[in-house]
Amino acid sequence: MGMLVVGSVGYDTVWTPLGSGTDLLGGSATYFSISASYFSSVSLVAVVGRDFRSDDIALLKNHGVNTNGLEIAPGKTFRWSGRYNPDDVNLRDTLDTQLNVFSEFEPSLDREQRNQEYLFLANIDPELQLQVLNQMERRPKLVAVDTMNFWIDSKKPHLSKVIELADVVFMDEGELRSFSEEANLVKAAKVIMAMGPKTVVAKQGEHGVLLFEHGSVFAAPAYPIERVVDPTGAGDSFAGGFMGYLASEEDTTDTAFRHAAILGSVMGSFAVESLSVEKLRSLSYQDVVSRFRDFWMLTNFNPLGSEENLPWQTKNDAIYQ
Ligand code: AMP
């Protein structure tokens, strides 16, 4: 089943303890599309300026991403720059955000795009996310949304409207706290679920993700990586694996969501191993399968059988009788 994504496509300048680069291919929709392309077909809606490199369009096309909705407008491509904390790569400062051609962008979906069953509203102006959502011919099977503090701080009312219409919300833990004004993540997720979404995915960087649904929580760890070169785009790559898997399986049950969370973690783990999309763009099917198997080894343990007790229970029973 096909998927539509709207989000940023742009150039990033990043500094991390293990590398830095200027005008690297980035953007929420870029990471998402490349990651999701390993699982399902993806149509991209975004805008770039005339300075966007043709190689980068070719890269997306080589991954089977449908770029008919990637408009090339007069002006400069979106730019973002950030610096990661040398003592804790989970922390970063945004140094600059230039919306450039995105500030004038008015997406207009064609018939095929309006009929996609899976919609991902990647991190971008919530007004644009709403414009895309409102153009869908019928309610997609699954609508997911991601965002960032930049938009929580500047456009919370619009973002709230998008969230009310979504099934799944992806936010990192800081964004969740800031949006919900709740310090506790469980309470923060409940605030979002009370607005309408059935699922909240709380991203916790190197600590993995928590998948909150009504009445249940599932934890997926982050794969332990020795050389985290650049965490930029890990969240978008996670969402790409997550949504790409669900779209390919055409399954939106809780079991499929848990599987999707592990595949999201697999794709996020590849994204951080290089600057920009270098690693993510060059994966084989075997790479993905093998890391998926590694995740099983990472998390697998024998559950207690219904008649089984932990070994020390008999001892404790004796003490407390
Ligand atoms: P992540 O590391 O998952 O938060 O995503 C980083 C990507 O988001 C980078 O490649 C940036 O180009 C993009 N980005 C940063 N700020 C914004 C923003 N305000 N709106 C849209 N995309 C952004």
What residues does each domain of the chain span? 3-298
Mean of pLDDT values over 133-149: 97
Q: Which of 210, 245, 200, 212 is nearest to 32 (CA)?
A: 245
Q: Which two tokens stand for residue 198?
A: 């059935």
The average pLDDT across 44-56 equals: 98
Residue with CA closest to ligand 1 atom 9: 27
5, 8, 99, 230: which to mutate for ligand 1, most atoms within 8 A of CB? 8
pLDDT computed for residue 317 by the predictor: 67
Q: How far is the CA of 306 from the centre of ligand 1 (A)?
A: 47
The mean pLDDT of 145-170, rounded to a whole number, is 97
Which residue is closest in CA terms to ligand 1's atom 1? 233
**Closest ligand 1 atom to Cα of 237:** 3
Angle 158-160-166 (CA atoms, 0-180°, nearest 5)? 110
Enumerate residues lining ligand 1, CB below 6 A: 8, 10, 12, 26-28, 80, 97, 123-124, 148, 150, 232-236
Average pLDDT over residues 59-79: 98
Region 102-131 average pLDDT? 97
| Structure confidence at residue 111 as a pLDDT band (50, 70, 90) | very high
Coil, strand or helix at 169 = strand
Average pLDDT over residues 134-154: 97
Q: How confident is the model at residue 7 (pLDDT cuts 50, 70, 90)?
A: very high
Question: Would you say residue 2 has pLDDT above 80?
Answer: yes
- Predicted confidence band of residue 1 (pLDDT cuts 50, 70, 90): confident
What is the reported pLDDT for 309? 85
In angstroms, what is the span from residue 15 Cα to ligand 1's centroid?
15
* Predicted local confidence at residue 214, as pLDDT: 87
Choose which CATH entry (3.60.15.10, 3.90.550.10, 3.40.50.970, 3.40.1190.20) describes domain 3-298.
3.40.1190.20
pLDDT band at 89 (very low <50, low <70, confident <90, very high): confident
C-alpha 238 – ligand 1 centre gap (Å): 14
Å from CA of 122 to ligand 1 middle = 9
Q: Give 300 Cα–ligand 1 centroid separation in angstroms.
A: 33
Residue 90: per-residue pLDDT:
84
How does pLDDT run across 168-225, given as a tens digit for each residue?
A: 999 999 999 999 999 999 999 999 999 999 999 999 999 999 999 988 999 999 999 9
Sign of the Cα torsion 203, 204, 206, 212 reads: negative
Position 312 pLDDT exceeds 80: no
- Closest CA to ligand 1's atom 6: 233
Tell me: the pLDDT tens digits for 279-299? 999 999 999 999 999 999 999
Band (319; pLDDT cuts 50, 70, 90): low
Q: Ligand 1, atom 11: nearest CA belongs to which residue?
A: 27
- Give the pLDDT confidence score for residue 79 in this predicted structure: 98
Atom of ligand 1 nearest to the CA of 78: 12
Question: What are the strands, taking DSSP E only, across the chain?
Answer: 3-6, 10-16, 19-26, 42-49, 66-73, 78-85, 88-98, 118-121, 142-146, 168-172, 199-203, 209-213, 216-220
**pLDDT value, residue 320:** 61
DSSP string spanning 221-263? Answer: PPP--S-----TTHHHHHHHHHHHHHHHHT--SHHHHHHHHHH
CA of 31 to the centre of ligand 1 (A): 10
Taking the centre of ligand 1 as the mean of its atom positions, its distance from the CA of residue 95, in whole angstroms, is: 12
Poorest-pLDDT segment among 7-11, 65-69, 302-306, 312-316: 312-316
Question: Closest residue (by CA) to atom 20 of ligand 1?
Answer: 124
Please say if the pLDDT value at position 249 is more than 60.
Answer: yes
CA of 121 from ligand 1 middle (Å) equals 13
